[in-house]
Amino acid sequence: MGLGDAQVLSAMRKNRLKAVLQIGLAGFLLGSSLTVADERPEKLSAEQLRMAASSNSQQAIAFYREFLSLPNDANRPDEIEALNRWVVQAFVERGFDARLLPTAGSPSVYAERLSEGATKTVLIYLQADGQPVDPSAWEQASPYEAVLKAKDPDEGTWQAIDWDLTHIRLNPDWRIFARSASDSKGPMTQFLIAVKLLSEVKPDLGYNLKVLVDTEEELGSPNLADAVRAHSDLLAADMLLIFDGPPHASNRPTVSLGARGIATVTLTTYGPTVAQHSGHYGNFMPNPALALAQILASMKDTDGVVTIEGFYDGIELDEATRAVLAAVPDNEDEILGSVGLIRSDKVAASLQESIQYPSLNIRGLSAGWTGSASRTIIPPEAVAEIDIRLVMESDADRLISLVRSHVEGLGYTVLDHAPSDQERLSHERIVSMAHSVSYGAFRSDPDSAPALMARAGMRHLYGEEPILIRTMGGSIPIAPIIEALGIPAATVPTVNIDNNQHSPNENLRVGNFIEGIAILMAVLQEMPH
């Protein structure tokens, strides 16, 4: 805690009653200005939206901290069971009919609030589960005990500060650190708060609101598609809005129109059945790590362009599309510099154009031992984990088949299992290949119904058109919902881009948390097209 914060905290403790009264009065005035009978506005102004989010920030943060305290590893059904009970209750308290939606794994949560005579239905997708945690890698006692932190201006490190400081003032640059702070309990909290605040002013939004809460997203949502198809009548809607992820790096209002899908491939090469002494057998026994390195190197050139024949087939960017992509204000030098790089791959002319192509990424390598545990051996096997990001024009099965054909073209026998002793003695070069397809890509038109609703809310709040992202680089399990229900989708992102999602010390910037509430209120009060 810095000296300035310590002084503020001291002042707070001396004048706590005054501060509480001031905050209460502000909330009272806000409530009275927005809820006078017969004078309720058709649409809250930008100023009223921001005032509502700001005046209720303390209650919102307290609710958020409670939500963050719930473990939510999708690999642990017991954690998801307790989480779901809390989520169902949170929706019920906000006037929704809520229930568990059975799947082949952990159930999702379904909630609805119907409007009499409504002609339009909006489906909202939210996520409640999170990545596994290694508490030892976090700079706090528990990843499930939210910690408020400020950045030390001298050290550049994040230091814990007293939650009581939030009763005096909120610095937008403070961060709240906890697992799922941004991915994705932050957006879900913002939605629940936004709905509650809007309901106090406008109990009937004029359209049916349905919500699907995914509790297996971090597992790749393996059971979501079947569940949506089984309950397609219940989930039927005119459009889908997704509240997830960060806006553009400029932190300007953003609407994303699509996202890439994802498939994975695991390649394993084989050496001696047991690790052998490299002094005795180096230059004699083939090294599987070298073989794997050669295979991987053959898949891309030095500019990062995939050399597997046909990998980019079907991708065509017309002038109108290029104009949409060029309008995104990326500072590519700054993006690269922030992670210590001075050059980019040359798949396309820009970051946004590169995302329109399928990618092949080596996400992990393993062979032998390294560091202090390193040994002078020829390892028995080497493993590469690869992810393939999919776009609308790329079929996952086709790309996986191309990878297999490429490896075979290098002279390898490709198996779908570890080789038997007989297979080892029958083939000179063996690779085992396993693969899975999580879900495909989706992309909607800028003038689709959900995009227009989101864009209208952003224009109302900010007085300008939001940045339109044709396709996000990341992947979310939306394609199965779109395919099952036959509806377009758009994403409204609200968390800071530097949030460490999936990593230790995940966080959400306080300013983004509060502003996100105003954003979602602005979008939700728009009538769907």
- How many angstroms separate the CA atoms of 432 and 448, rounded? 44
Per DSSP, the residues of 321-372 read HHHHHHTS---HHHHHHHTT-S----SSSSHHHHTTS-EEEEEEEEES--GG
- Checking 395-403 for CB contacts under 8 A at 24+ apart, the result is 396/261, 396/263, 396/437, 396/440, 397/437, 398/310, 399/263, 399/311, 399/358, 400/263, 400/265, 400/435, 400/437, 402/308, 402/309, 402/310, 402/311, 403/265, 403/299, 403/308, 403/360, 403/433
pLDDT at 18 over 80: no
For 450, counting Cβ atoms within 10 Å of its Cβ (0-12 exposed, 13-18 middle, 19+ buried), the class is buried
Residue 159, beta-bridge partner list: 150
Could you tell me which CATH class the domain 260-315+357-439 is placed in?
A: alpha beta
- Checking 135-144 for CB contacts under 8 A at 24+ apart, the result is 137/504, 138/177, 138/504, 138/505, 139/177, 139/504, 139/505, 140/177, 140/505, 143/178, 143/179, 143/504, 143/506, 144/68, 144/69, 144/70, 144/71, 144/178, 144/179
* Every domain of the chain and the residues it spans: 3-257+444-524, 260-315+357-439
- How many angstroms separate the CA atoms of 291 and 45, rounded? 63
pLDDT value of position 352: 97
**pTM of the model as a whole:** 0.85
Mean pLDDT in residue range 136-165? 96
- How many angstroms separate the CA atoms of 355 and 493, rounded? 18
At 370, list the tokens. 């390294």
pLDDT value of position 42: 80
- Helix or strand or coil: residue 304? coil
- Residues 425-464: tens digit of each pLDDT: 999 999 999 999 988 999 999 999 999 999 999 999 999 9
- How many angstroms separate the CA atoms of 155 and 406, rounded? 50
Contact 285, 424 (CB under 8 A): no
- How many angstroms separate the CA atoms of 94 and 86, rounded? 13
Measured CA angle at 360 (ends 404, 182), to 5 deg: 135
Kindly give the pairing relationship between strand 258-270 and strand 472-475: parallel
At 208, list the tokens. 């049916």
Q: How confident is the model at residue 14 (pLDDT cuts 50, 70, 90)?
A: very low
To the nearest whole number, what is the mean pLDDT of the chain?
92
- Residues 233-242: tens digit of each pLDDT: 999 999 999 9
Report percent pLDDT > 90 for the chain. 88
**Closest alpha carbon to 491 in 438, 444, 439:** 444
CB atoms under 10 Å from CB of 167, counted, come to: 16
Q: How confident is the model at residue 117 (pLDDT cuts 50, 70, 90)?
A: very high
pLDDT value of position 76: 96
Q: How confident is the model at residue 6 (pLDDT cuts 50, 70, 90)?
A: low
Which residue, chain included where needed, has tokens 């290694």? 134
- How many angstroms separate the CA atoms of 122 and 213, rounded? 14
Contact 330, 468 (CB under 8 A): no
Contact 213, 477 (CB under 8 A): no
Q: How confident is the model at residue 3 (pLDDT cuts 50, 70, 90)?
A: very low
pLDDT value of position 404: 98
pLDDT at 276 over 50: yes
Q: How confident is the model at residue 5 (pLDDT cuts 50, 70, 90)?
A: low
- How many angstroms separate the CA atoms of 258 and 476, rounded? 9
At 57, list the tokens. 């920030």
Helix ranges, 36-160 (H): 46-55, 57-68, 77-92
Which CA distances in Å does 21 have to 17, 214, 228, 411? 6, 40, 48, 77
- Residues 320-335: tens digit of each pLDDT: 999 999 999 999 999 9
- Residues 488-516: tens digit of each pLDDT: 999 999 999 999 999 999 999 999 999 99
- Residues 351-363: tens digit of each pLDDT: 999 999 999 999 9
Mean pLDDT in residue range 247-268? 94
Residue 127, beta-bridge partner list: 214
pLDDT at 277 over 90: yes
Which CA distances in Å does 218 have to 222, 397, 480, 491? 10, 22, 16, 18
pLDDT value of position 374: 96
Mean pLDDT in residue range 188-205? 96
Mean pLDDT in residue range 174-201? 97
pLDDT at 7 over 70: no
pLDDT value of position 529: 85
- How many angstroms separate the CA atoms of 196 and 70, rounded? 21
Contact 524, 198 (CB under 8 A): yes
Helix ranges, 355-509 (H): 396-409, 421-424, 449-462, 479-485
- Residues 20-61: tens digit of each pLDDT: 333 333 343 344 344 433 444 589 999 999 999 999 999 999
Q: How confident is the model at residue 393 (pLDDT cuts 50, 70, 90)?
A: very high
At 181, list the tokens. 């702070």
pLDDT value of position 473: 86
Q: How confident is the model at residue 220 (pLDDT cuts 50, 70, 90)?
A: confident
**Closest alpha carbon to 45 in 28, 59, 29, 33:** 33
Q: What CATH number has the domain spanning 3-257+444-524?
A: 3.40.630.10
Q: How confident is the model at residue 475 (pLDDT cuts 50, 70, 90)?
A: confident
pLDDT at 15 over 90: no
